[in-house]
């Protein structure tokens, strides 16, 4: 998103989100809009439903951010960008069908590294978004039932002392906060109440840095700040 930066599919999606946020998509030429939609739709693999970045393997930084992680992440960005453009994917997101099996879903959730909840939180958020998309866009009932199981697991495994979905010492602090936000946006979207709200507020305010932001060491950081500020505003507006 800077003048001299390299192009990527991710940055293309981000540019659509920014234009949508400021109401600029209504002024886009119809031909250009159609080209953008076609470009995004052409990224989808018919067999899996994944939107695939041809460069995902070269962009993978470690085992927690492998090409599969990046392509599932990109899929959530692409369907959101298409929605901003009043369009949708050509095919259902078939790769999430294995998560329709309650035993598989529960086993997968339990085996994620919840000491690194910033990463595991991302993974479970991606899958929840895809389940919601298949249900809302394609009317796939099994996707909604799987989402119900997802929520049951989250409610059962949420830490009652912090409100986070994390374990280990750092899971009570920055890792916990980073992991919490990812599931929290799913709760917000589905209008589902999050447990332990007073504990969450106390912990988030404890984590807040002297400059009022949430990056450790001051100065702010986009992910940290949205992770901390969004739930605080939400709880303030939705509670007496």
| Residues 96-129: tens digit of each pLDDT | 999 999 999 999 999 999 999 999 999 999 999 9
**CB count, 10 Å around CB of 109?**
21
CA-wise closest residue to 107 among 64, 62, 149, 166: 149
pTM of this prediction? 0.93
Which pLDDT score is estimated for 1? Answer: 46
Which pLDDT score is estimated for 50? Answer: 97
Find the length of the chain: 240
Average pLDDT, the chain: 93
Q: Which stretch of DSSP H or E encloses residue 203? A: helix 197-207
Stretches where the chain sits below pLDDT 70 are: 1-6, 56-57, 240
């Amino acid at each position: 998103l800077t003048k001299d930066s390299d192009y990527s599919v991710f940055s293309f999606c981000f540019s659509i989100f920014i234009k949508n946020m400021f109401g600029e998509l209504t002024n886009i030429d119809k031909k250009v809009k159609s080209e953008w939609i076609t470009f995004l739709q052409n990224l989808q693999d018919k067999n899996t439903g994944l939107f695939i970045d041809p460069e995902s393997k070269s962009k993978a930084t470690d085992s927690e951010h492998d090409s599969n992680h990046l392509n599932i992440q990109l899929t959530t960005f692409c369907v959101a960008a298409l929605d901003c453009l009043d369009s949708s994917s050509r095919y259902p997101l078939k790769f999430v069908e294995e998560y329709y099996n309650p035993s598989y879903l529960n086993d997968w959730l339990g085996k994620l590294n919840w000491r690194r909840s910033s990463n595991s939180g991302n993974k479970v958020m991606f899958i929840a978004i895809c389940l919601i998309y298949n249900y809302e866009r394609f009317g796939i009932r099994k996707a909604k039932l799987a989402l119900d199981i997802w929520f049951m697991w989250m409610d059962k495994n949420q830490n009652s002392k912090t409100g986070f979905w994390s374990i280990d010492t750092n899971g009570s602090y920055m890792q916990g906060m980073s992991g919490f936000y990812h599931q929290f946006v799913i709760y917000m979207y589905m209008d589902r109440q999050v447990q332990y709200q007073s504990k969450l507020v106390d912990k988030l305010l404890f984590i807040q840095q002297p400059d009022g932001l949430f990056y450790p060491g001051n100065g702010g950081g986009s992910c940290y700040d949205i992770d901390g500020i969004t739930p605080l505003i939400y709880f303030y507006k939705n509670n007496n």
